[in-house]
Amino acid sequence: RIVLLFDFFFPGSGRGDLGPGPIVDALKTPGYKDGWGGWKPFSWGEDEVRDFEAFSAGGKPTVLPIIQIILARGPDEVKRWLGIVTKWDFKRVVPMHLDAPLAVNPNEFEDAFQFVKSGKNEVRYCGEDV
């Protein structure tokens, strides 16, 4: 699950290792500061920076693939919610992750949810994995 999670954040960059190597390494670092008991079944590839740049698209807002999958289950409700939120007069959005705040108006915010309107999960940055 951890490998899958990181693959959603940086597709193509995470290199999964489900063999004994990560377990042996974890046993050497029982006080691992980032949790999981030191178990890290992946490493980052050389294309991590390239993938992050594509993902961030110069600050353009996006909805993570895993969230797109969840929201695509109730497109009518998402459209209803967007209809309410995009009537508000705002100039920035504070996302839950990554850089904040984003200089985004209601139209730009709505653009991040095009997958709901089109009925397709078209993720701009992970064609090699999805």
Check residue 65 and give its pLDDT: 74
Check residue 90 and give its pLDDT: 96
Check residue 9 and give its pLDDT: 63
Q: Which residue has the tokens 């409700």?
A: 77
Check residue 58 and give its pLDDT: 73
d(CA 107, CA 111): 6
**Is pLDDT larger for residue 127 or for residue 8?**
8
pLDDT tens digits, residue range 81-98? 999 999 999 999 998 776
d(CA 42, CA 98): 21
Note if the pTM is more than 0.85.
no
Which tokens belong to 47? 């294309």
Report CA-CA distances (Å) from 90 to 29, 85, 100, 109: 47, 9, 15, 10
Check residue 36 and give its pLDDT: 61
